[in-house]
Every structure is written in C-alpha cells, then in structure tokens.
C-alpha cells in the first residue's frame, strides 16, 4: 500500500505576505504541518507542492520533499486545490509508481494533530462502505437556521424566518469544512471535482482547534490560541 501526503504551499499570498513560511508561534507556519505529517507515520512520502524557491527550502529543512516545482498555471489566486493535488499525484507516480491513498494537508494548519491524520486515514482505508474522501470538519457554534443578514435598507432579516422561535436544541447540528486535511482514494482525486461527494465522511475536530487564517486578525487570534495550548 502506497500513501502520499501533499502539502500545497504557493508563494503568492496577498492578504498575509509570505504566509506559508511566516514565523508562527516560534516556527515557520509550514513546519507545523510537515511535523504533524511526519509524526503520523502513515505516509511513504511527504511532498510539498510549491512554485517558490524559499518555501521549497523551508520545506526541505522541516523534513519534507520537494521533488518538483509547481507550474505557474497552477499557482495563481484562482487555482482550486484538487487540480494541484492531481498534478502532484501524476508527477509522483511517474517516479514512484501508483499510489493508493492521498492526503492533502494545508500549509496553514498549525492546529493539525498527528493522531487525527492517522485516525482519519483509518476511517478511509477500513470503511465498510467504500468512501471517496474523509475531510476534517467542525460544528458551527450557533444554529445556522437562525442566521440573519442586513438588507439594503440596513434592517435585519432572518435567512430562515420559520425558525425564529425554534429552540436551538431542536435544530439539527450543522458542520463546516475545518480547512485542515482531506484524505482521498487515489482515483477519487481524478474523478471528482469536489471533496463533498455522496461518499464523503466528515472527521470531526473540536472547534478550539479550528481557525481560518486569511487576515492579520485571524493570524493574531490563531497565534494566541496556539501559544495558550503550548503552556504547561
């Protein structure tokens, strides 16, 4: 059985320049992902897909491989993740032969834990009903059925006014993508254009270990969270 980890890490971050290698809680951001992947001990190879020489060097120092540089047409602001992973798989297989399972782990996932990577892989590999993907997710902290918006007149409107008086405990839970890792069968990466298929299972993570890091405010909050977790 051949298992590949791919960490996408392009160099063109706009809102937080050099985000993938910017120091975060004492280490380059990318290093947190590489170390978790290595600790999980379920990968034959850990590959970083990047178009940037400096990111490639940080990845190698952290213990990952950078056997190719990502082409420019897969490194712009609008490139989805799945084509990037397909390219990595094809390039890897040309050298090492066919893989069975592939995990995509984002470079900006400093809260990822090795145990979660291993446990979610086990769910994919040993599922009683064949799965395409197992993806990390977490529960919304507030019922989405009672969300509101502000209309053009500056007034509040409920998205689902029929639930204005429904008790929170009577509403079904809702979950969202945690933005950490995405396990997939090798062929699913080529046959599907979304992680969320009819054969996708969600691997739940606690909300205190989930944080998008897209803005400077996100970064500051995430770093505070990480440092708090590191305290004895």
pTM: 0.94
Residue 157 domain-assigned (yes or no): no
What are the pLDDT digits (tens) for 48-66? 999 999 999 999 999 999 9
Q: Measured between alpha carbons, how far is 219 from 19 in angstroms, rounded to an integer?
A: 9
Mean pLDDT on 215-229: 94
Helix (H, G, I), strand (E, B) or coil at 128: coil
Quote the pLDDT of residue 50. Answer: 97
Q: Note the pLDDT tens digit of each residue in 156-207.
A: 999 999 999 999 999 999 999 999 999 999 999 999 999 999 999 999 999 9
pLDDT digits (tens, 9 = 90+) for 115-155: 999 999 999 999 999 999 999 999 999 999 999 999 999 99
Q: Which residues of 71-94 are buried (b: 16+ CB within 10 A; e: fewer)?
A: eeebbeeebeebebbebbbebbee
pLDDT of residue 2: 96
CB under 8 Å to 26, separation ≥6 — which residues? none
User: Per the structure, how many domains does the chain have?
Assistant: 1
Question: For residue 44, what are its two tokens?
Answer: 């034959």
* 51 within some domain: yes
- 200 is a domain residue: yes
Q: Could you tell me the residue range of the domain that residue 34 belongs to?
A: 3-136+176-230
- In a domain, residue 212? The reply is yes
The pLDDT assigned to 14 comes to 81
CATH number for the domain harbouring residue 7: 3.90.550.10
| Residue 154 CA, distance from chain mean position | 35
**Does 164 reside within a domain?**
no
pLDDT of 232 above 80: no
């Amino acid at each position: 059985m051949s298992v590949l980890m791919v960490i996408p890490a392009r160099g063109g971050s706009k809102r937080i320049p050099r985000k993938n290698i910017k120091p975060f809680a004492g280490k380059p951001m990318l290093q947190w992902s590489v170390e978790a992947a290595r600790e999980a001990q379920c990968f034959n190879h850990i590959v970083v897909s990047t178009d940037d020489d400096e990111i490639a060097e940080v990845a190698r120092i952290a213990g990952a491989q950078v056997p190719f540089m990502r082409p420019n047409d897969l490194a712009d602001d609008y490139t989805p993740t799945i084509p990037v992973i397909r390219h990595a798989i094809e390039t890897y297989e040309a050298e090492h032969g066919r893989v069975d399972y592939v995990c995509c782990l984002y470079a900006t996932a400093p809260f990822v834990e090795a145990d979660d990577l291993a446990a979610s892989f086990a769910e994919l590999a040993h599922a009683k009903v064949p799965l395409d993907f197992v993806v990390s997710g977490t529960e919304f902290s507030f019922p989405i059925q009672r969300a509101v918006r502000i209309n053009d007149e500056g007034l509040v409107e409920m998205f689902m006014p029929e639930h204005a008086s429904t008790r929170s405990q009577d509403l079904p839970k809702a979950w969202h993508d945690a933005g950490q890792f995405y396990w997939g069968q090798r062929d699913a990466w080529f046959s599907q254009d979304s992680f969320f298929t009819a054969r996708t299972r969600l691997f739940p993570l606690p909300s205190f270990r989930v944080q998008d890091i897209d803005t400077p405010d996100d970064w500051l909050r995430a770093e505070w969270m990480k440092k708090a977790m590191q305290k004895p």
